[in-house]
Each structure stands twice: as C-alpha cells, then as structure tokens.
Amino acid sequence: MDFRGIHDRLLAVAAPGLLGHDLPRPSNPADKKDKGRAGDPFVWVEPALLPAFLEVCRDDPRLAFEILVDLSAVDPSKDDPNMWVVVQLLSLSFRHRLAVKCTLPKASAALPTSTPVYRAAQWHERECAEMFGITFSGHPDPRNILLPEDWVGTPLRKDYVFPDEYHGISCK
Amino acid sequence: MVESKTVESKTVETRVDPHGPAQKNEREFMLDVRTQDLEVNMGPQHPATHGVMRILVRADGEICTGAQPHLGYLHRCAEKIGENVEWLQYLPYTDRYDYLAAMNNNLGYSMAVEKLMGIEIPRRALMIRTLCAELNRIGSHLIAFGTYGLDIGAFTPFLYMFREREWMMALFEKICGARLTYSYIRIGGVFNDAPPGWLSEVERFCDTFEEKWQEYVDLLMVNHIFVQRTANIGVISKAMALDFGLTGPMLRASGVDWDLRRDMPYELYAEIWKSGCFAIPLGTGERGTLGDCWDRSYVRVMEMIESIKIVRWCLGAIEPGPVIADIPKTLRVPTGEAYVGIENPRGELGHYVVSDGGKIAIRCRVRGPSFTNLAVLEELMPGVLIADTIAIIGSTDIVVGETDR
C-alpha cells in the first residue's frame, strides 16, 4: 500500500490518536519563502495514545506492521518549545513503511512506553530517554543504555552544554 | 550424601534445569552439589564480545540464569557529530559504526541524502556501488563466520577466512586507498572510477572465492563438533524475531522470508532480482530447530555465495560512463526528512535525516541493526549453559561500533 492507502485505512479503522498527516510538496514559485518539503510523508499522532495507535497498526490485517524498525526523537531547534518522537514501522506482509510522529513539549516531555506492543521499542526508548530527557512512563527497565548512569544532561538536545570534565577527565 | 541433600535443598529449588524433568537421574545428582548464584562480568574486554561490551551474566553453577548487556563503551556521539558537521563531512563518520561493512554504511547515508535532494545517480556509479556493497558483505560475513568458529574453539577456519578477506581488502585499497574505512561511496555516486584491470581482478577473486567457499562449508559448517555446539542452541522463534525487530540474517534464520534487496529494492537490486541470478537463503532447521545458532551461520554462509552471483552480474552488465553526479562542494539539502533502510550484512541499516534547508543536518539518526539484534540476548540467555552463552553471542554477529555509535 502507498501512504495514501495506509492513511485511508487508518481513518477507516479510527486509529486512536491520529491527528493528521504531512505530505512532501514542491516549492511555491509565487511565494519565495515557501521552499516546500522533500522526503517522506508521515502521520501525526497524539503522544498519550501512541501505544494504542501502534497496537492498531500492528494488529490490523490490512496494515500489519509487524516490525518496529526505529524509535527516536528530534529536537528541531533551540527556539522551538517542542520536540518530536518519530517511530518507523515496517510491514513485511505488504511491503510498506510508515513514519509516525508525535509532538512533545520540551518542558514536560513524557509519553507512555510502547514496549508492551513491540519489544523492539525497549532499547530504543532507553536511548531516547537518556539522549533527549524524555520520560517513557511504565518502561520496564528505565536505565541509561549508552551513557554512564551518572551522566549529567541530555546530549542530543540542541541546548545541551558540553561538560568541562567527567570524573577528572578533561573534556576540553 | 543424605546430609548434604537436606542442607542444600533450599537453594536447589529455584534453579533452572535446562534438561527438564525428563532426565531425572541427572537432576538427582545435581541436588547434591552446593550451588549459589554468581554474577560474572563478561567483558568489557572479552574476546567473544567482538568489541568493548560487557555482559553481566548471572550463573547458577553451569547454568546461566540471566544476562544483562551493558553498552556504551564505544559510544562516540556519531549522531551528535552529524548535527555539527556539513552533510559531506559526515560521510567518513559513517565508516566508523559498522567498520566491517563500511561500504554499506556509506551507501545508506548517501542514499538518505540523495533521497532528500532528488539526485539521479549515473548507471555506472550504481553498478560500482552495488558491486562494492556486495563485496563488502562477503568480507563481513567471512569475519562473522570465522570469528564465530573462533568463539567456540575452531581456530583454523578463522585464518583461512582472513586470507580471502585480505584479498577483498586489497581490492578496496586499489579502488579507494583505504582498507577498512573507505568513504568511497559518496553522495551522488562514487569517489572515482575503478582503476584499469580492477574489474578483471574482482572476477578472479570471484573464481577463487567460489572454490574456497566449499572448503569453509566442509571445514566448519558441517563439522560434527560445530553442529553439536550450535544446533538447538539459542532458538529464536518467528514471533520473537518480529517482536524484537530483528532484521537481516537473524530474521531469515528464523524462517521469515524478508530481504530489503528483493522486497524494497534500492539501487539496481530490482533489475538484478528480475534477472533471477540470486536467491534469498533462509533458515531451515536442517540440523536442529528452526532459528537456532546453526541456522544463523548457515544463512550467512549461503549469503556469501549469493553475493558472488550479484558481483558477477554487475561485472557482466557494467558499461563505461560517469561515476558521480554533478553536485556542489557545499551541499544545501532541501527542507524535509527522509528515512532510508538498506540491507546491511547484519540487517536493516536505517538512516533518518532531517534538514531545515541548511548546510548542516538538524538530525542524523542511525538505526544500527546490531543494536536491535543484541536486545534479544536478555531473552535468550536465561536457562542455557555457560558455554552456550558464547555460542549465542557469537551467532548474533554484532559489531560494537554500531551498537554504541
């Protein structure tokens, strides 16, 4: 199925939390500021309902997203009060992909864990949590995965300040 | 004897018996042995962890009751670097995550940027890219298979496989000057054309390799000791493989017929698949259970010979022409985001890039197959013998450079 077909199906089964979609579009020659958007289409989903949404994606016989390929976050800019969580799904039966995006406020970045739906999400969420400071409530093992347990700060946020030293090791 | 039985009966109750109640005599014998849980650090510098990784193994006598991988010893902030250097400058960093298959990493990143930019790649460049990616797959599987033998005690095959891999690396050195970190596949094509006589040397490599490949199969794959150590060990069912998001040989060994080269073709793979020159090997459960360690090795070994067929197809179809599209020195990538997944030797290597139209990416996410494939360890380890933990870790074929990035 192409993206339009997937989106129609999501509407037909009333997937919980579906907010809308975003398609790539060419630039507008009349408006110089409008540069358009390249790349892949994706759907917007409400963060609190992400696990429920993923469950529908996995179990619906015509969507059948068997694999959660990736779960990560994006901090678009220093000035933006929000950041995104992005999930990449893959269906082996129908050979299609879907990108799912949620907007989270940076000040209180929290959403429920998707680990009960896809076990693959467990490690990706741990990485996401330490790198972006997102709380995945209900996560079975919320330790740091790549960073040391006592690391200060969330490195992949745009406002991250690099430390001067770590346990006596100079980072300059 | 009776006395010790009564003393130790409390601790014995909780142990996991891998043989089940069927072998009653053995279990009765084990009741006499004083046991206690022991936590052992495997790593960070253990030869069987294939890099700097630590696995905290909890052992009850000879039986592993739990394992917890601790990663991050090789974390080099690849994703953060991606947000601080220009698009073209990031390419050499991609070599460093899966250093055994650097061509594939270059390819994945280049394809993600090309997707955003909408660049058309010259046909000769596509040929060379496919050819190099497949040659690199052979090299990577040689290491995977060779070191796997080494892990479980077969030293000699490892040296034979390094002999062939050395030739493969010499070929890459001739085409791009580097033996491990190539940065040869660029955004828009490849760095330069193959030197004169290179393609005929690749053909000679293919001829020799096909001969030697049979040796590996005879030497290790069907070796009785190897089969005994790997068959029925670390069985991953189909459902478990999908739940954990396994990809590549790990997924195919569990009997799931999925290969991005065929099912979501990129580069020239649609054309190659149509020509019918290669097949997708799957786990069969021939020597044990479907999805065991032997099946994972089997898939990798069979993939090597399929890759040779793809290389031969490229050699037959290659035509003269330009090898890189006309791209500026400083790239300005259009606003947008793209995800590209390619079939790396270890599974799906995903690059998720986000651009705001500037010279530098605002996000450069790398989805490494080793990272997800490793997560299954926590589930596989409880209940196996200590000796089998090594067999299981080896069969996942991880590269720690990629799990940690």
Q: Residue B33: what pLDDT?
A: 61
The pLDDT tens digits of the residues spanning B236-258 come to 999 999 999 999 999 999 989 99
Of A39, A70, A120, the CB nearest to B243: A120
- Indicate the average pLDDT of chain A: 88
**pLDDT exceeds 70 at position B11:** no
What is the total count of domains within chain A?
A: 1
Runs of H (alpha helix) within B235-385: 238-243, 249-253, 260-263, 269-274, 293-317, 369-374, 377-380
Distance, CA of B65 to CA of A160 (rounded, Å): 40
Query: Which secondary-structure segment (H or E) carries A62?
Result: none
**pLDDT exceeds 70 at position B20:** no
From A68, which residue of chain B is nearest by alpha-carbon distance?
Answer: B245
Q: Residue B43: what pLDDT?
A: 76
Q: How far is CA B46 from CA B42, B54, B142, B252, B325, in A?
A: 6, 8, 20, 28, 45
Distance, CA of A9 to CA of A14 (rounded, Å): 8
The pLDDT of B82-92, averaged and rounded, is 90
Task: Please tell me the distance in Å from A49's CA to the nearest CA on chain B.
Answer: 20
**pLDDT exceeds 80 at position A164:** yes
B72 contacts in chain A (CB < 8 Å): 144-148
**pLDDT exceeds 90 at position A86:** yes
A86 contacts in chain B (CB < 8 Å): 352, 365
Planar angle of CA A134, A40, B265, nearest 5 degrees = 115
The pLDDT of B374-388, averaged and rounded, is 87
Range with the poorest average pLDDT among A33-37, B131-135, B218-222, B369-373: A33-37
CA quadruple B134, B136, B140, B142: dihedral sign: positive
What percentage of residues in chain B have a pLDDT greater than 90? 30
- At residue B105 the predicted structure's pLDDT band, cuts being 50, 70 and 90, is very high
Q: How far is CA B173 from CA B169, B176, B178, B195, B224, in A?
A: 6, 5, 5, 11, 37
B372 contacts in chain A (CB < 8 Å): 120, 123-124
The pLDDT of B359-372, averaged and rounded, is 90
Of B338, B371, B404, the CB nearest to A39: B338
Task: Please tell me the distance in Å from B94's CA to the nearest CA on chain A.
Answer: 18
> What residue has token string 């009997």?
B255
Q: Residue B34: what pLDDT?
A: 63
Of B244, B247, B334, the CB nearest to A38: B334
The pLDDT tens digits of the residues spanning B37-71 come to 888 888 787 776 777 888 888 888 888 888 888 88
B355 contacts in chain A (CB < 8 Å): 38
- Indicate the average pLDDT of chain B: 85
Q: Residue B249: what pLDDT?
A: 92
- At residue B14 the predicted structure's pLDDT band, cuts being 50, 70 and 90, is very low
What pairing do the DSSP bridges indicate for beta strands A96-105 and A165-166?
unpaired
Is the Cβ–Cβ distance between B377 and B75 less than 8 Å?
A: no
φ, ψ of residue B118 to 5 degrees: the values are 65, 40
B52, B365, B377, B405, best to mutate vs chain A, most A CBs in 10 Å = B365
The pLDDT of B70-79, averaged and rounded, is 88
CB contact under 8 Å between A38 and B335, yes or no, is yes
Task: Please tell me the distance in Å from A57's CA to the nearest CA on chain B.
Answer: 14
Domain ranges of chain B: 118-326+373-404
The pLDDT of B165-191, averaged and rounded, is 90
- The SS3 call for residue B329 is coil
Q: Residue B30: what pLDDT?
A: 57
Q: Which domain holds residue A164?
A: 3-170
B242 contacts in chain A (CB < 8 Å): 66-67, 92
Q: Which CATH number fits domain B118-326+373-404: 1.10.260.40, 3.40.718.10, 1.20.120.420, 1.10.645.10?
A: 1.10.645.10
**Which one, of A51, A34, A166, lies nearest residue A119 by Cα?**
A51
Q: Residue B6: what pLDDT?
A: 38
Give B20's contacts (C-beta < 8 A, 6+ positions apart). none
The pLDDT of A91-98, averaged and rounded, is 91
3-state secondary structure B23-83: CHHHHHHHHCCCCCEEEEEECCCCHHHCCCCEEEEEEECCEEEEEEEECCCCCCCHHHHHC
Is the Cβ–Cβ distance between A95 and A63 less than 8 Å?
A: no
The pLDDT tens digits of the residues spanning B307-319 come to 999 999 999 988 8
**pLDDT exceeds 90 at position A101:** yes
Q: Residue B32: what pLDDT?
A: 58
Of B72, B118, B356, the CB nearest to A147: B72
Cα(first)–Cα(last) distance of chain B, in Å?
54
Residue type, B343: E
State both tokens at B293.
């360690």
Is the Cβ–Cβ distance between B364 and B351 less than 8 Å?
A: yes
Q: Torsion angle of alpha carbons B258, B261, B262, B267, nearest 10°?
A: 160
Is the Cβ–Cβ distance between B138 and B148 less than 8 Å?
A: no
B264, B348, B352, best to mutate vs chain A, most A CBs in 10 Å = B352
- Helices B386-396 & B293-317, crossing angle to 10 degrees? 20
Planar angle of CA A94, B370, B273, nearest 5 degrees = 40
- The SS3 call for residue B363 is strand
Q: How far is CA B399 from CA B50, B223, B293, B342, in A?
A: 6, 26, 17, 17
Report DSSP letters for A2-19, one per residue.
Answer: -HHHHHHHHHHTT-TTEE
**pLDDT exceeds 80 at position B203:** yes
E strands, B156-231, are: 185-186, 189-190
State both tokens at A147.
């960073």
- At residue B382 the predicted structure's pLDDT band, cuts being 50, 70 and 90, is confident
Distance, CA of B362 to CA of B263 (rounded, Å): 30
From A162, which residue of chain B is nearest by alpha-carbon distance?
Answer: B80
Is the Cβ–Cβ distance between B145 and B161 less than 8 Å?
A: yes
Residue type, B320: P
The pLDDT of A105-127, averaged and rounded, is 90
**pLDDT exceeds 70 at position A28:** yes
Tell me if chain B has a CB within 8 Å of the CB of A34.
no
The pLDDT of A121-144, averaged and rounded, is 90
CB contact under 8 Å between A38 and B263, yes or no, is no
Q: Residue B18: what pLDDT?
A: 52
Burial class of residue B194 (count of CB atoms within 10 Å of its CB; 0-12, 13-18, 19+): buried
The pLDDT tens digits of the residues spanning B253-299 come to 998 999 999 988 888 898 999 988 888 998 888 888 888 889 999 99
CB contact under 8 Å between A119 and B243, yes or no, is yes
**CATH value at residue A55:** 3.30.460.80
3-state helix, strand, coil in chain A (%, to 5): 20, 30, 50
φ, ψ of residue B125 to 5 degrees: the values are -65, -40
Burial class of residue B315 (count of CB atoms within 10 Å of its CB; 0-12, 13-18, 19+): middle
Of B245, B263, B335, the CB nearest to A37: B335
Q: Residue B35: what pLDDT?
A: 66
